[in-house]
Amino acid sequence: MKPITTVGVVGAGTMGSAIAQHFIMKGLPVILLDQQDAFLEKGVGHIRSSLEEAMQRKLIDEAGLEQILGRLRCTTDQAALAEADLVVEAIFENLEVKKQLFAELEQVVGADCILASNTSSFLISDIAADLKTPERVVGVHYFYHAAKNKLVEIIPGEKTDGAIVSALENFYSYYDKTPILVKDAPGFAVNRFFVPWLNEAARLLEEGFGSIAFIDRVACEVFGVGMGPFALMNATGVPIAMHAADGLAGKLGPFYAPAEILCKQVEAKQDWDVEDSTPLNDGSDQKEVVIRRLVGASLGVAAQMVDEGVVDATSADLGARAGLRWPVGPFELLGKLGPDRVREMVESVFSAWDLPLPACLEKAAAGQALSLDWVTTEVVGDTGFIIFNLPDRMNPLGEQVMEQLDRCVDELNARDDIDRIIIHGKGKAFIAGADIKFFLDAMDAGDLDRIQRFTEFGHRVLNKIGASDKTTFAYLDGLTLGGGLELALACDYRIGTRKSVLAFPETGIGIYPGLGGTQRTSRLIGVARAKLLIATGQFINAKQAYAFGLVDTVIDPPFDWRELAGFSIDRPQAGRTEETPEEAAFAAFDGDLSSPLLDREGFEKQAKGIRRKAPIALKMAMELIDKGRDLDLAAGLQLELDGLKTIFATADAKTGLSSIITGQKPVFIGK
């Protein structure tokens, strides 16, 4: 496919201007088209206002703002789009108008230009039906605010060229979006189950099963969200919810039809009174009714989609997390609530509308759990890839993820047709560490054995990688922190990019690196630098990591990660530099915060950081490095495991790990 270097956006309204903003912020020139200069001026105003907010948050400065806006060209002349490699349509929702626009665009743009629609109401196949080249038409459904919200649903029509779909998946991933592939079906994926969630809340209000505030509060509690359905409708526009429900009802039936109270709210042109807590129908089962109806409506529809092949369970969950900011998607929530309970909830809601129970819920209740594939494999030529498909989660290494990683390692190790394995994380992180909530839950339950078992299993998995007869690579195109860096250290080689950021933050959150960090690091780059990195927790880029010997090469990230297939490195640690005298002196550091090493001239910044670390964790980490330096690797790794319960039993560990969740700066007491 021809590279996408210039983007056209048709429609300078709220959505179109935000789509244009995303691209210009990522460095791409954009041609923004609308019918009148006044519309364009308003759209540019939206973009400037959003960028000024970013400037106030010190994400960009004034020069950066003007540089970003300098990539935007506004026009009322369709002929200007002849330069575009991708044109995204974001005009108002009228099928005939959209079809006419695409027919005109077809005559203007180049033969290789991709034509995309941001429609939320119409099938892509219907938009492309009368075109001469329907194979280049595709849906790219954005979510508000399109410049900030990561999710993009990619929807191929009946005749869309598969190469275009693959190209757009790579394109959006490269430019920091989270694409999911969705079948051309009413509501696509996320709106299909989200709109019924909103509408069911309105029905509950209408039927007297709680006040607005009560229903919102129960929804927040059960789904773990920050805003309930009524608050969300106020934020995005109450009419949007009604029109979305009406559109789905026209294609999928009366279950989706907007509640009468929702229609009346739109007629009155009013937001919901989210402060209203007037008690209604105060039966003791009121809360359970709200839970049953909201879960039954949304998870039932999500299960319908999986049955219909609209989207797979993993992508549906990713869409909910990335697009709706739900902490867990519908199928992960199903696992938490229990498949039997969810089956009963869905059945109670669906039976009232004569809807059949989705088959996948029947199977889940019978013990055939739906697969959430967070770690997957793909083979390209003689290279096997292990892909972490959790782009929205910075700390994914929990029990289930580690089990899936283990299966993937076994699968690729058993293949005779590959001779290398490359581990890759989608999103802005390779892997940014272990699942903090897992640790806290186990500590709150007093179950330190669970942490011990998980870490022992993690060691076995990493040892498999280290002992593989394939050549193993970690492709560190993003944040590589804590457990993620320890996973990378188990590989034969580490590949850095301009996006690489490496660190061991553990001693700053009350623990020590427990998946081999104190042992593999010192063996790779020496005791002094290992101690320096683990004690300071400093973040280093690929250039610094190359000089330290942590990464073996630094490359420009390819547009498609599959281009790494067949990648080879001539020799390890080619960029490693000699230790400076200051670094070498750090080999003697024993974790004592009164050490004279911390008073060295020129070391003030690092010393200040070290003195903020958890004293017990710091001392244990340094001791582990010292005790393990003369042992074989297996014995050194066992030292880490032997100290786990001691470190996780400390008050400092609870304080430090909790600080990740609360966002508060930890204060350690050395206990």
Nearest to 341 by CA among 197, 230, 222, 215: 222
For the chain, the residue count is 671
Tell the burial category of 547 from Cβ atoms under 10 Å away from its Cβ (0-12, 13-18, 19+).
Answer: middle
Query: What's the token pair of residue 128?
Result: 């492309």
Nearest to 382 by CA among 567, 560, 562, 566: 566
**Residue 558 and residue 561: Cα distance in Å, rounded?**
6
Q: Which residues contact 663 (CB under 8 A, 6 or more apart)?
A: none
**Residue 158 and residue 230: Cα distance in Å, rounded?**
36
Supply angle C-alpha 15, 17, 21, rounded to 5. Answer: 115
Residue 534: what residue type?
I
The answer, yes or no, to whether the previous bond of 145 is cis (omega within 30 of 0) is: yes
Query: What's the token pair of residue 490?
Result: 């188990």
Nearest to 319 by CA among 155, 436, 153: 153
Nearest to 566 by CA among 420, 435, 460: 420
Query: What's the token pair of residue 37?
Result: 């200069």
Query: What's the token pair of residue 180?
Result: 């999911």
**Residue 365 and residue 344: Cα distance in Å, rounded?**
10
**Residue found by looking up tokens 């290279």 in the block:** 383
**Residue found by looking up tokens 């789509």 in the block:** 19
Nearest to 383 by CA among 561, 557, 566, 569: 566
Q: How far does CA 105 lie from the centroid of its chain? A: 34
Let me know: does 127 contact 100? Beta carbons within 8 Å: no
Phi, psi of 506 (to 5 degrees): -60, -45
DSSP H helical ranges for 109-237:
124-128, 162-174, 190-206, 212-223, 229-236
Residue 657, Cβ neighbours under 10 Å: how many? 22
The DSSP 8-state label assigned to residue 129 in this structure reads T
Q: Which residues are catalytic?
A: 486, 506
Q: 3-state class of 638 per DSSP? A: helix
Query: What's the token pair of residue 170?
Result: 């790579």
**Residue 470 and residue 458: Cα distance in Å, rounded?**
19
Nearest to 293 by CA among 191, 201, 364, 190: 201
